[in-house]
Structure 1
Amino acid sequence: MIEKLTKVAERYDEINRLMADPEVLADYQRLNELAQERSELEELVQTFRRYQNVEQQLQENRMLLDDQDPELAELAAQEIESLEAEQEALEERLKILLLPKDPRDDKNVIVEIRAGTGGDEAALFAAELFRMYSRWAEDHNFKVELLSSNETGIGGFKEVIFAVKGKGAYSRLKYESGVHRVQRVPVTESQGRIHTSAATVAVLPEADEVEIEIHDNDIRIDIFRSSGPGGQSVNTTDSAVRITHLPTGIVVSCQDEKSQLQNKIKAMRILRSRLYDMEQRRREEELGAARRSQIGSGDRSEKIRTYNFPQSRVTDHRINKTVYRLDDVLNGDLDEFIDELAQNEQAERLQALAAETA
């Protein structure tokens, strides 16, 4: 590990030298590429240099343990205890930083929420999940863009698709894919019985046109009249768009925009992301790299979290974590879950890496 880290630090220093070169400064594209590479290496190199510094301090303090002055020796022993704890923490951090980075982590995401079992109650829950993610995104300075929705008329969504834009959006939201359950007494329930409903969440990294090329002869585009709640143009113009990807059978519909062109652009974004996600899964299976757990797997059939209203309880079943702050969670306070899910994924990847190199 030290040899690898040393090479990374040397590359980091080389980048800094290159970025001071007048020829490189005059080449905007080259300068931008180097700045991006430096940014990616910065935390790793700074952590490694702190690790080296701690190691040097440990050696110096160990030499003082045999000092004739007992007070100085005692101070050195205390310092060693503190430095060894920091060294251990730095080692763990370096191992995590050395793990291969998921190239999708920095991408924007497209989130698809669909009401599952539970009828109108499931649709209302889907709307609450949409609001929860929107508030989470707002708190983290991400931008939310509604792409498509199918409303029920009573404030719920049969389906809602939206983009979350910002660097690192996928790295945080990828753990939200799966089945979310809600347990509560519906407004329409006169007997006061608790019902269980569900909504499915899919989090897809947004692909650009370079990554996923869609040929015109592979798609069929149908134009139809918008329906359901909407603006003045709804039910008056043929602006809704349905795109069918013929090789895979994937169908995407968009009708939220007044412009047919805007609906087509949004539908193509959704289609491109679904195809990208499908291709990534196929590659992982071919390489035998199918994930070893449901954490971050994006398995949309797996029950991942339960929201229990009578007990104000939220339970994430993948990490057996329960909090009694339902209102806070539904208001976007998700980081406690996301952080722990990320830590668990890192621990599993470290374990897998250790097993491979053993």
Structure 2
Amino acid sequence: MTPHLDDRVTGALVGAAVGDALGGPVEGYTPEQILERHGGRVTGVVGPWNGGSWRTARPIAPYHKGDGHVTDDTLMTHALVRVYERVRGHLDAYAVADHLVPELMDRPVWIPELEAEALPLQRVFLAEKWIVARLHYGHADPREAGNGNIVNCGAAMYMAPVGLVNAANPAAAYAEAVDVAGAHQSSYGREAAGVFAAAVAAACVPGATARSVVDTALGLAKDGTRAAIAAVAEVAEAHRDFETALAPLRRAVAPYDSVGPDYRSPGLDARRPSRLHAIEELPIALGMLLVGEGDYRRSVLGGVNYGRDCDSIATMAGAIAGALHGEAAVPAEWVKRVAEASRLDLHAPATALAAVVREVFARDAAAHRVHAAAFAALTDPVR
């Protein structure tokens, strides 16, 4: 059966959160290190890399990554859903200044990795703190506030809601996400945000497949982002097991990834604006989607075991696979474990966003009818 809208929204948001939680504890490591640490590949929820010493162990202290805890990818995604709830319409860069910044600064939420209620600003990475610094304190033009920030996956990682609000309309999702992300990122970081939102929207098209999603992404992506997706997709087509795909996909994306081989020690040219580069996370997520043939479990576990920024990779792969197949595609035992461990209602944001999606579509349809009538009057030969 073709999943209905609400099911796809739930699949995407719940799927993204579960992927995030599975990838968190192995973020920053290599596939070889993951294999050695866990005595095999990660196949579900695992504990912190450093066990009980997570509060003080470097390089990620004091975050409790693991045991089913979501990371800042999910915190930012849910914050953007709340902005959509408030605006109940399409967003732009000004919505980030007017609504997302207060979400980060003023609204305490439960932070699973801190095991405490705190402001999201106290958990998000430096690239996300930039939003507050530039917009609240620097009073930058929201459309240009992302200029000068670290160019990474920070904006892309939470753009699934934009794709869902524009479900089955990838071009519109791309345009809206590029506008929203202008307040956060520039260059290929902003581009990735647009392409990821478009991929989620494309996954909502009835009859969509992993291949059709990637083809849609290729049709919209620009510069290094497009080249990176094309290179990874070509390699991914030769694999149906993520184990054999791990090294080939890394080699395919490496020429476009500015971070370099040592994820924790990037070079001086890393994360700087460029038309030749791409973030690593989105092409790899799309590649794992192809390797897994759109299957949620295979696609997400491929992203998790890839290592490096694997929580964001698995977040993106999980969102797209969840949008393709609906909530039933996300293993129920993972959903239960993550929701309980993170102390979050993973379904409430989806329910809220699905209502907004319907409202936005109704207004868009009405606006289109008005435009169509005006255009018909303009072109009526009788006049």
Q: Would you say same fold, with TM above 0.5?
A: no
Task: Calculate the TM-score normalised by the size of structure 2.
Answer: 0.24
- Select the structure of larger CA radius of gyration: 1
Which one has a larger percent strand, Structure 1 or Structure 2? 1
Which one has a larger percent helix, Structure 1 or Structure 2? 2
